[in-house]
């Protein structure tokens, strides 16, 4: 059995997840691991969706609740998706991981314009998966410059 990861094949694999009623997909190569919830140590005076920090095998990781960032209900405990960001790892709280799906670049409709205000650089497009529309996002572009600076300060202060 060949257990080596073929990066060429993996570049079209996406993690499909649920946040509220919305389904999102992100490239699997950007995801380090998926964890059951861990105890979160809160950090005072932070942006609403920054929940604090967790300790993962001795590494301090900031926790962002994507449900709050995307203004979705937070009725479930959720799971942590750990992503390696240029400023260090980040744990994103989502409701559930749905599946891993192969999505070819030509299937992503990226010409969709978002009509409401705010920062949307993270939005790469929409793809249809078995009659369902799924938003494709880039975790590395989730924050506008102000949020990014604040998040880096919070992670540094907590470490």
Domain tally, the chain: 1
Confidence of residue 119 (pLDDT cuts 50, 70, 90): very low
**Does residue 6 form part of some domain?**
no
Residue 145 maps to a domain: yes
> In terms of DSSP bridges, do strands 50-56 and 59-65 run parallel, antiparallel, or are they unpaired?
antiparallel
Domain assignment of residue 115, given as a range: 11-158
67: domain CATH number?
2.40.50.180
Q: Is 3 a member of any domain?
A: no
pLDDT in tens, 121-152: 787 888 999 889 998 988 877 766 566 666 66
Contact present, 20 and 71 (Cβ < 8 Å): no
Confirm if 27 and 16 have CB atoms less than 8 A apart. Answer: no
Q: Residue 1: which pLDDT band, with cuts at 50, 70 and 90?
A: very low
**Residue range 50-68: mean pLDDT, rounded:** 90
The Cα 25–Cα 127 span in angstroms is: 9
Q: State the sign of the Cα–Cα–Cα–Cα dihedral 152, 59, 61, 126.
A: positive
pTM over 0.85: no
């Amino acid at each position: 059995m060949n257990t080596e990861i073929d990066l060429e094949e993996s570049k079209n694999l996406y993690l499909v997840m649920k946040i509220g009623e919305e389904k999102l997909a992100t490239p699997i190569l950007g995801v380090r691991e998926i964890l059951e919830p861990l105890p979160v140590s809160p950090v005072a005076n932070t942006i609403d969706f920054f929940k604090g920090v967790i300790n993962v095998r001795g590494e301090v990781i900031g926790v962002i609740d994507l449900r709050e960032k995307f203004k979705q209900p937070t009725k479930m405990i959720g799971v942590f998706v750990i992503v390696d960001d240029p400023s260090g790892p980040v744990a994103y709280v989502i409701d559930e991981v749905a599946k891993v799906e192969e999505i070819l670049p030509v299937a992503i409709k990226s010409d969709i314009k978002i009509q409401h205000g705010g920062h949307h650089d993270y939005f790469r497009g929409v793809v249809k998966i078995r009659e369902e529309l799924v938003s494709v996002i880039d975790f590395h572009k989730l924050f506008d410059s102000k949020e990014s600076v604040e998040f880096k300060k919070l992670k540094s202060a907590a470490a």
